[in-house]
Amino acid sequence: MRVITGKARGAKLISLEGTDVIRPTADAVKESMFSIVQFDVEDAVVLDLFAGSGQLGIEALSRGAKKAYFVDSSRASIDVIKKNLEHTKLMDSAAVINMPNSAFLRTAKEKIDIAFLDPPYGKDLINRSLPALTEIMNPGGIIVCEHEAECRLPQTVGKFRVSRTYKYGKIALTVYRDDTPDADGQDEETEIP
């Protein structure tokens, strides 16, 4: 697992070993995520919810995000995130928070421009988190969710609407944007081999 591009390009990141809970985002999926938000990352305030190793927030900081919040309820994950931030020399732009995602979403003081959600699969955590998350997003914000391809997410949550869904075999990315729907009112779906 490495940082793809930016200030920390090529830096190796560590992950927790011997657990089913941490499932690092595959490089091809991570590259797609950052292609989606490439013009929005610079100077953005980013949230890496269910941060795990912190790789998504670290990638955003490496690409010029102003600040990244790393939120995870696991103390072991928090320790890994801090080590990865120190290794990539990005700690000064980070806020690492050890608390349940629901508590963070209720108490967050700063508005978020881009949120990445990559929770453990099979627990319906995205559906449970989206309503509170939309309340702390800035106007024009973007929410990128990684989930099982068969998982169905709502078309709209608050003022956010699915702008596109990308499929990578058994994994999917669903992107929500705070903007008007497509002219035909349908979301787009792209199958990636």
Q: Judge whether 177 and 148 are in contact, CB under 8 Å.
A: no
Architecture of domain 27-192: 3-Layer(aba) Sandwich (3.40)
- Tell me, letter by letter, the H, E, C secondary structure of 81-126: HHHHHHHHCCHHHEEEEECCHHHHHHHCCCCEEEEEECCCCCCCHH
Q: For each of the chain's 193 residues, which pLDDT tens digit applies?
A: 888 888 887 789 888 865 444 556 677 788 889 999 999 999 999 999 999 999 999 999 999 999 999 999 999 999 999 999 999 999 999 999 999 999 999 999 999 999 999 998 888 899 999 999 999 999 999 999 999 989 889 999 999 999 999 998 889 999 999 964 442 334 455 554 4
Q: Where are the domains of the chain?
A: 27-192
